């Protein structure tokens, strides 16, 4: 392997100041000397001012005692810094100490900003999902014709006073990739569905249809005539065709990250607004495998007023049906009032197909799916076929169907009934349109002509249904109908029958779950840099020389990332060939985004912008790494050194300053690293290993591990390892007396021997996990150094590296853990990593939803083991009144806490069979996969059992920043070798550091009239994070404060003016208020807000 000849250099203490800053190393990285000097002698006057402020605060806020002591600590720390830096701990090898950090790490959180996490005084919801889980017996009794429910009875006179209003909603569920690829589905089915739709809907104005996947719709639109487009606009305009949700796809809600969820929603909404001039009003998510409470928040922020969900645990459906709670206002757990409420309709039965949507008896409903008329390709499994409706049988058939409608209606509070009519890829032939629409119309005509039946039936769209319901309730859309319950929480994990829990897909195909997040980080970085470079180029009048064609690369990357959020893509539940198709798209976009980043960075770091020339053949910078194929791991670029210096540009995509170790491969051990102004930077030279034992001699410091246990120590952490296994055993933070046991072990789950086995969707283990027992003991390698030390353990199926950073700040406060997993020789096995601690967490643990919010979980003894796994897109933690241990992750995986003090994550699964959910394959295409984590141990200062019992929880600020560091790594871009290098200068886009709790989610340049070109406007999307102040940490090392959610945008972007600022709904479809002259904004905790801005 080539790598034997290479050496790693890690340049550290690289200040990448402020957002997405671009830094140079001459071998170069910038320090700001002025700010450094002021750090050492912090003005005494400021300290006394702070102490006076604290005395005033104590008088005002005695009850906030713990918060004030927190600020006092910070001030004492600051005073200590001012009086001279305490020497960092000396190491055995004196030359290894890091130069002291010359600026105080001072974090002042204003007490008002700590109130949010302590809980609101708002009314509690009628239905709290955590409580519902505790209440239900989950006994799965046979309910008769509705197997998972109960018998429904009614009196025919119940509708005398108020007739039943029935809306039959025709739909076709189109998966953008599952059994076939996106393109194959389009050519074989989707284009025919949409072509027939235009034709058939025009035949009768009473016909209705809904559509949701814009990825398919836009492809079709590009291929149809102007005449057909006009017909579509007419159908939408007159209410016959409704676009529901309007995202690029119907996303998975378990593994998807909120950046990508929002991005695919914007992509769809912007397409709809530009091409059809329509704004979606209702959400439709019938196929995702469980539901996150993040989605209702995003839909509400996009101005939708109602939504439909379907795949919810059958026991919850039955419980809600029995209490008429299937329709509710869905509210965020952290919402102090009702501002996040959105009306939600839950479908009551097993599936969204025709047999399970007209009423409780599938044998009867199937007879009203007229695609299954005798002679067709599909029939009714219940052995009674549909009959075409005629004058002779209409009375009897209509009565039979009405009975089902009435029974279904008894499960809801209103006299308005929603009856979906469709299934996967339905309505692809004109004959099916005729069979369904003509037969149903005959039934409706008959029912509506019989006043004694007290029913009004018709075709409708989703919004027709919601509007009729709101009208009956006497309210405007978006308000809470009188008497309807409020619910908070989420709908994971999902079981569709028996103990068949859909918890396997939280981990299935982890290689692509990881690639998804790499692409997401690159897309965000590319959006930010492209928007800034373009604004600066326009301001300098250089936009004619800037590669505007990069915009179409950005646009295509948005669409490929959006496509992958589909509920059969990121979930790992598509056929092998389809997975390859997704992988090729992701890699293609990743390569293109690196190009966009390089072009923008090139422009922004040029000292003299007039010299800028874009040459597509020779890029100014090279990429930090390359991937040979869609399923290979990245290989880092090696920087070749010679007598003349090599330059590097380092890009920090975060909006906070960051002190990070930046890894770099070079081909010689004789290397120095200098900052932009020629100052030497601390660097550590280490061997680069191509295997457990192969490296270049003489260039590294290695202590072979003895069989005795051993410890590594940095200025922040002491971590101890087992000498025999090389795995972590305990952790202690600096200044703490107590060592916290954090022992790591690997376990293996098998699958059942019975007919139902684990597959891509389902996790059906054969009992508890058994310890992983490789045939050979591991090779353990310990590397120590001034900037980082690490322990690598090489097992047969997993290589772990635990790294300790000896740097101040965020990076040094947590352990970096990575696992390179390869289980390609396993048969029906799943590999899990378990952390066991002394934390008294009992049965409670916490997982994130979409990287946006935290949902408390409870281990339910009454449920099978597999039911207790949950998605972990970004983090999971356990805690007691003393400590919190958080596992941060860079890719979505399944997680649980199966015992007090435990946290367990499934790393990969290899399954040889299908699990009977339609895929028709097992999971046999495993890849070598690298899973990356951060382990953060925090001390809790003011926790109480009462507070911990609440159905809401928040990470600390340190935890939020740790997650950002893990998910948005600094990019190292070597300047390509060239004869005459132009003068380069670091670029810092922000004039001030953002408040710690603000995150720039995106700065997305909007498209011009011509699709492929950028406009002068951009969408600035900000998120203010909710955080918990009760977790203490010394020397936090982030140089930001909080500001009660206030931010001055006017002067934020250095060297650019904010020419206009318009607050809008999340996806820019609705302006909110009038564009004012003020550029000061305020966000509430947890709020995501979008602004249409123009920089110049």
Query: Which residues make beta-bridge pairs with 1094?
Result: 1017, 1060
Helices (H) and strands (E) in the chain, counts: 21, 47
Q: Residue 558 CB: number of other CB atoms within 10 A?
A: 22
Q: Strands, DSSP E only, in 118-266? A: 127-128, 164-173, 209-211, 241-243
Q: Determine phi and psi for 1053, rounding to 5 degrees.
A: -90, 115
| Rounded-to-integer distance, Cα 211 and Cα 223, Å | 18
The DSSP code sequence of 1021-1049 is EEEEPP--TTEE-S---------TTEEE-
Instruction: Give the angle subtended at the CA of 795 by the CAs of 791 and 797, to the nearest 5°.
Output: 130
Cis peptide before 579, with omega less than 30 degrees from 0?
no
Q: Are 435 and 141 in contact (CB under 8 A)?
A: no
* Paired tokens of 941: 């200062």
Residue of 113, 175, 252, 287 marked active site: 287
Task: Note if 287 is an active site residue.
Answer: yes
Q: Please say whether the dihedral angle defined by the alpha carbons of residues 336, 293, 894 and 502, taken in this order, is positive or negative.
A: positive
- Strands across the sheet containing 658-666: 638-639, 658-666, 7-16, 683-687
| Rounded-to-integer distance, Cα 31 and Cα 15, Å | 7
Of 419, 434, 421, nearest to 389 (Cα)?
Answer: 434
| Rounded-to-integer distance, Cα 802 and Cα 934, Å | 9
Q: Are 1088 and 262 in contact (CB under 8 A)?
A: yes
Structure-token match 């104590």, residue found? 58
CB neighbours of 135 closer than 8 A, spacing ≥ 6? none
CB neighbours of 858 closer than 8 A, spacing ≥ 6? 130, 133, 134, 843, 844
Residue 698, class by beta-carbon neighbours within 10 Å (0-12 exposed, 13-18 middle, 19+ buried)? exposed
3-state secondary structure 254-305: CCCCHHHHHHHHHHHHHHHHHHCCCCCCEEEECCCCCECCHHHHHHHHCCCC
Local structure of residue 501 (DSSP, 8 states): B
**CA–CA distance from 11 to each of 3, 14, 89 (Å)?**
19, 7, 21
Q: Residues with catalytic annotation?
A: 287
């Amino acid at each position: 392997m080539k790598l034997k000849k290479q050496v790693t250099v890690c340049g550290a203490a690289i200040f990448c100041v402020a957002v997405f800053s671009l830094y140079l190393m001459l071998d170069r990285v910038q320090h700001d000397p002025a700010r450094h000097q002021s750090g050492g002698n912090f003005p005494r006057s400021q300290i006394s001012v702070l102490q006076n402020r604290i005395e005033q605060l104590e008088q005002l806020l005695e009850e906030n005692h713990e918060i004030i002591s927190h600020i006092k600590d910070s001030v004492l720390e600051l005073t200590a810094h001012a009086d001279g830096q305490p020497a960092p701990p000396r190491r055995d090898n004196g030359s290894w100490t890091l130069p002291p950090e010359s600026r105080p790490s001072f974090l002042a959180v204003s007490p008002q900003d700590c109130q949010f996490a302590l809980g609101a005084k708002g009314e509690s919801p009628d239905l709290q999902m955590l409580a519902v889980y505790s209440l239900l017996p989950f006994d799965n009794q046979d309910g008769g014709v509705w197997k998972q429910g109960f018998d429904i009875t009614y009196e025919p006179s119940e509708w005398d006073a108020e007739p039943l209003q029935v809306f039959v909603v025709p739909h076709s569920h189109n998966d953008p990739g599952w059994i076939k690829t996106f393109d194959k589905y389009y050519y074989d089915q989707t284009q025919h569905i949409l072509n027939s739709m235009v034709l058939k809907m025009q035949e009768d104005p009473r016909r209705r249809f809904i559509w949701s996947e814009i990825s398919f719709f836009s492809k079709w639109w590009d291929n149809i005539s102007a005449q057909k487009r006009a017909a579509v606009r007419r159908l939408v305009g007159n209410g016959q065709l409704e676009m529901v949700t309007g995202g690029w796809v119907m996303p998975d809600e378990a593994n998807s990250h909120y950046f990508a969820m929002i991005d695919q929603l914007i992509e769809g909404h912007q397409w709809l607004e530009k091409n059809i001039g329509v704004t979606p009003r209702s959400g439709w998510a019938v196929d995702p495998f469980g539901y996150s409470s993040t989605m209702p928040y995003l839909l509400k922020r996009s101005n939708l007023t109602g939504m439909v969900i379907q795949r919810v645990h059958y026991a919850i459906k039955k419980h809600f049906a029995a209490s008429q709670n299937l329709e509710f206002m869905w509210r965020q757990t952290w919402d102090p009032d009702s501002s996040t409420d959105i009306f939600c309709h839950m479908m009551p039965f097993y599936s969204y197909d025709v047999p399970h949507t007209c009423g409780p008896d599938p044998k009867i409903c199937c007879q009203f799916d007229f695609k299954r008329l005798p002679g067709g390709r599909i029939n009714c499994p219940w052995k009674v076929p549909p009959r075409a409706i005629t004058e002779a049988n209409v009375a009897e058939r209509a009565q039979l169907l009405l009975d089902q409608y009435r029974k279904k209606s008894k499960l809801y509070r209103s006299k308005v009934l929603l009856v979906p009519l469709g299934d996967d890829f339905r309505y692809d032939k004109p004959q099916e349109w005729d069979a369904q629409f003509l037969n149903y119309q005959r039934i409706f005509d008959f029912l509506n002509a019989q006043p004694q039946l007290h029913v009004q039936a018709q075709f409708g769209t989703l919004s027709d249904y919601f509007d009729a319901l709101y009208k009956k309730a006497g309210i405007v859309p978006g308000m809470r109908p009188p008497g309807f319950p409020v619910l908070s929480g989420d709908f994971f994990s999902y079981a569709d029958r028996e103990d068949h829990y859909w918890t396997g897909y939280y981990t299935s195909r982890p290689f692509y779950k990881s690639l998804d997040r790499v692409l997401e980080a690159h897309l965000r970085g590319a959006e930010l840099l492209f928007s800034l470079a373009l604004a600066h180029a326009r301001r300098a009048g250089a936009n004619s020389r800037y590669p505007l064609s990069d915009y179409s690369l950005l646009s295509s990357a948005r669409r490929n990332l959006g496509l992958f959020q589909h509920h059969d893509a990121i979930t790992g539940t598509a056929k092998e060939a389809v997975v390859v198709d997704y992988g090729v798209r992701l890699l293609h976009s990743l390569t293109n985004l690196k190009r966009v980043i390089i072009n923008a960075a090139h422009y922004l770091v040029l000292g003299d912008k007039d010299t800028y020339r874009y040459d597509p053949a020779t890029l100014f910078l090279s990429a930090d790494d390359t991937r040979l194929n869609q399923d290979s791991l990245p290989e880092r670029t090696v920087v070749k050194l010679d007598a003349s210096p090599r330059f590097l540009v380092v890009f920090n995509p975060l909006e906070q300053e960051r002190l990070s170790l930046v890894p770099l491969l070079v081909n010689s051990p004789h290397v120095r690293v200098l900052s932009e102004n020629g100052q030497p930077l601390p660097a550590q030279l280490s061997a680069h290993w191509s295997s457990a034992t192969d490296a270049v001699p003489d260039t590294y410091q290695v202590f072979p591990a003895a069989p005795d246990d051993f410890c590594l120590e940095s200025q922040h952490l002491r971590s101890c390892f087992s000498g025999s296994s090389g795995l972590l055993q305990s952790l202690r933070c600096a200044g703490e007396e107590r060592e916290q046991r954090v022992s790591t072990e690997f376990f293996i789950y098998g699958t059942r021997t019975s007919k139902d086995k684990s597959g891509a969707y389902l996790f059906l283990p054969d009992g508890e996990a058994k310890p992983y027992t490789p045939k050979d003991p591991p090779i353990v390698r310990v590397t120590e150094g001034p900037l980082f030390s690490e322990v690598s353990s090489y097992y047969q199926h997993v290589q772990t590296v635990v790294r300790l950073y000896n740097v101040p700040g965020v990076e040094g406060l947590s352990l970096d853990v990575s696992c390179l997993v390869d289980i390609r020789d396993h048969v029906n096995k799943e590999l899990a990593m378990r952390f066991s601690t002394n934390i008294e967490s009992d049965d409670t643990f916490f997982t994130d939803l979409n990287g946006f919010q935290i949902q408390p979980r409870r281990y339910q003894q009454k449920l099978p083991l597999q039911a207790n796994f949950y998605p972990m897109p970004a983090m999971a933690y356990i805690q007691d009144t003393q400590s919190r241990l958080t596992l941060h992750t860079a890719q979505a995986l399944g997680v649980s806490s199966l015992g007090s003090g435990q946290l367990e994550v499934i790393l990969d699964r290899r399954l040889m069979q299908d699990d009977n959910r339609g895929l028709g394959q097992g999971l046999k295409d495993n890849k070598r996969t690298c899973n990356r984590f951060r382990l953060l141990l925090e001390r809790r200062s003011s926790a109480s059992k009462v507070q911990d019992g609440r159905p809401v929880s928040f990470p600390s600020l340190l935890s939020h920043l740790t997650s950002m560091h893990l998910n948005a790594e600094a990019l190292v871009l070597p300047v390509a070798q060239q004869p005459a290098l132009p003068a380069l200068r670091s670029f810092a886009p922000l004039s001030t550091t953002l408040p710690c709790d603000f995150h720039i989610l995106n700065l997305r340049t909007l498209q011009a009239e011509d699709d492929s070109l950028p406009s002068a406007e951009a969408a600035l999307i900000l998120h203010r994070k909710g955080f918990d102040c009760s977790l203490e940490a010394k020397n936090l090392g982030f140089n930001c404060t909080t500001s009660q959610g206030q931010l001055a945008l006017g002067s934020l972007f250095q060297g650019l003016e904010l020419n206009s600022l318009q607050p809008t709904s999340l996806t820019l479809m609705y302006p909110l208020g009038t564009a004012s002259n003020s550029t000061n904004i305020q966000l509430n905790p947890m709020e995501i807000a979008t602004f249409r801005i123009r920089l110049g």
